[in-house]
Structure 1
Amino acid sequence: MRMELRRDQEDDIACIIHDEFMYFSEAVATSLKLPSIILRTTSAATSLARPTIVQLQAEGRIPLLVHTYDIRTSSAIVWNTIDCLEPSTLAHIQRQSQVRVLPLGPIYKFAPASSCGSLLDEDTSCVEWLGKQTKNSVIYVSLGSLASVDDKELAEIAWGLANSKQPFLWVVRQGSIRGSQWIEVLPEVLRETLGERGCIVKWAPQKEVLAHEAVGGFLSHCGWNSTLESISEGIPMICRPCFGDQRVNTRYVTHVWRVGLELEDELERGDIERAVRRLLVGNEGEAMRERARNLKEKVEVCIREGGSSNNYLNRLVEMIMSLK
């Protein structure tokens, strides 16, 4: 209704840009005779994995309610990924989709810091704590804004970090522990041990943390935003995927880009301790850090003037202007 009113007032609405999962927006755009552009915030590889899910559903192997829509009715697909990370996958999608594919990520690098607000209150005191640690010595731990753990898993992570004898910055989000409010569920002696070696906060300014020279690794759920941010800052990862696209992202981190390790099966303190030390101490972790630094350099080339992401952003602006 509001959009129709604005059209009557002859305001220029060039197009509708909508998230890929808000597929009904395509019908709205069609009804208003407006072009539409799809915004995809997952990796390109995840998109290629989806037809397999549909096939398994059709064979009755997994009970899913699947909605499909034709992306070829859109004017373009804007993708928060980077050409240097997924070149062959993006090329395949471009041939398959028959519409313009614009991989202009990482989008956060083009936005002013003030416009990238956090959904949760960030505890910036952890940045001051990082300033007291040595270079590449800290493991940063965060499982994102949706994943949760139970008391047992929380304790395994805590003991794994404590036993690694490496400094750590651990984000334990309020409400992320099933059945408990926060880390008070941990034994007091363990909390004291953790306090001597690390810093625990309810939320952290992640981009600033990953850019800090003290951070040498990131134990993550491997959501795509976190994965992009880690790669963009040259930080290798310990992957603990929970759901959705995170398993595809993990596979790329560990087997394609080779900048991380995966924690498989149940969370176990010994596995966590070994993974942290493998990443932060010794030759294996240094080799991953070197590959991560190389990826960071490639990302920086893509976002600077004349780089692929910068060029795709300019093409998007030109396309929208041409639609008016």
Structure 2
Amino acid sequence: MLQEIVSELHPIRYKDLPLLGIPKEQALKTINLIIPKKPPSAFLWNTLEFLEPTDKQAPRSVVYVSLGSVANVDEKVSTEMAWGLANSNQPFLWVVRPGSVQGFEWFEFLPEGLVSQLKMRGLIVKWAPQKEVLAHSAVGGFWSHCGWNSTLESMFEGVPMLCQPFEFDQKVNCRYLSYVWKIGVEIVVERGEIEDAIRRVLVGKKGEEMKQRAMEIQEKVKVAVCHGGSSHNSLEAFVDYILSL
């Protein structure tokens, strides 16, 4: 049932519908997380600190992992993510927001041996300047929750995506990225599946084809936001409407 296409909403499946199966109380709790309870951690970090380690990496070889500012995941999911990253043998930059793993402050739940493997291959941080990271030549894939802002930022830089949606419009965005535009793959949270998905995006012929499609969409996005482009014109029309009230 969940895999079936919704009538008149092709290619959206029932499983892609926003808030499917989420109780109202949980949805409200998630929305409340958007309201900051303390100063953003962005002020604590030098943005260049996250870009400099990738300077020695090959072009388009690094997978950037960030699941947004709201999503909370459990220990099991985070552990599978960690093993998938370690086993892929690809360099990575993984943003683990403090408190984003249920019941833990950061990533102290990971086995010491796994942490050692991760440190040999990549970098785990609490925050990263996302636009600058996606624009870096070493970044070849963005593992994301598929929030619309993150999706647009990735498309603007021509970076293919690994999609791990949670709620709201994220599942619909994931469906379009992976099924319609074909510039992303949907993540199955199991270490072997994750390892395979990372390699599909960053290595081999399929990855090159996905990168080419992402670059074609990048050009269309840039045209849309330029003077006279569709997005530029829509914004101007919206401003004119507001001013006319």
TM-score using structure 2 length? 0.81
2:172 to 241, 248, 252: 248
The count of aligned residue pairs is: 217
The letter of the residue matching 1:121 is A
Are positions 1:153 and 2:153 aligned together? no
Counting only pairs closer than 5 Å after superposition, residues 12-91 of structure 1 correspond to structure 2 as none
Distance, in Å, in 1 between the alignment partners of 2:209 and 2:23 is 42
What's the CA shift for 1:200? 0.7
Greater relative contact order structure (CA < 8 Å, 6+ sep): 2
**Seq. identity, %:** 56
Are positions 1:311 and 2:211 aligned together? no
2:55 to 122, 131, 136: 131
Distance, in Å, in 2 between the alignment partners of 1:64 and 1:180 is 25
What's the CA shift for 1:284? 0.5
What's the CA shift for 1:62? 8.9
The letter of the residue matching 1:251 is R
The letter of the residue matching 1:277 is R
Distance, in Å, in 2 between the alignment partners of 1:179 and 1:204 is 23
> Partner of 1:258 in structure 2?
182
Distance, in Å, in 2 between the alignment partners of 1:244 and 1:121 is 25
> Partner of 1:6 in structure 2?
none
Are positions 1:290 and 2:212 aligned together? yes
Stretches of structure 1 lacking an aligned partner (at least 5 in a row):
1-44, 66-117
Are positions 1:192 and 2:116 aligned together? yes
What's the CA shift for 1:130? 2.1
Distance, in Å, in 1 between the alignment partners of 2:151 and 2:83 is 25
2:142 to 213, 218, 237: 218
Distance, in Å, in 2 between the alignment partners of 1:299 and 1:212 is 18
Cα deviation digits, residues 277-308 of structure 1 (max 9, x gap): 11100011111110000000001111111111
1:121 to 23, 38, 42: 42
SS class of match (1:184): coil
Structure 1 pair 286/316, CA: closer, same or farther in 2 (3 Å)? Answer: same
Are positions 1:183 and 2:104 aligned together? no
The letter of the residue matching 1:176 is S
Q: Which 4+ residue blocks in structure 1 deviate beyond 6 angstroms?
A: 61-65
SS class of match (1:185): coil
Distance, in Å, in 2 between the alignment partners of 1:157 and 1:243 is 19
Are positions 1:162 and 2:86 aligned together? yes
SS class of match (1:183): coil
What's the CA shift for 1:315? 2.1
Across the aligned residues of Structure 1 and Structure 2, the Cα RMSD in angstroms comes to: 2.6
Cα deviation digits, residues 172-211 of structure 1 (max 9, x gap): 0000111111111111111111111101101111111111
> Partner of 2:244 in structure 1?
322
1:204 to 128, 131, 151: 128
Distance, in Å, in 2 between the alignment partners of 1:263 and 1:318 is 42
The letter of the residue matching 1:191 is V
Cα deviation digits, residues 134-180 of structure 1 (max 9, x gap): 11000011111111222222111111101100000000000011111
Stretches of structure 2 lacking an aligned partner (at least 5 in a row):
1-8, 26-38
Cα deviation digits, residues 185-238 of structure 1 (max 9, x gap): 111111111111101101111111111111100111111111111111111111
Distance, in Å, in 2 between the alignment partners of 1:196 and 1:298 is 38
Cα deviation digits, residues 51-110 of structure 1 (max 9, x gap): xx79xx9xxx99769xxxxxxxxxxxxxxxxxxxxxxxxxxxxxxxxxxxxxxxxxxxxx
Structure 1 pair 283/309, CA: closer, same or farther in 2 (3 Å)? Answer: same
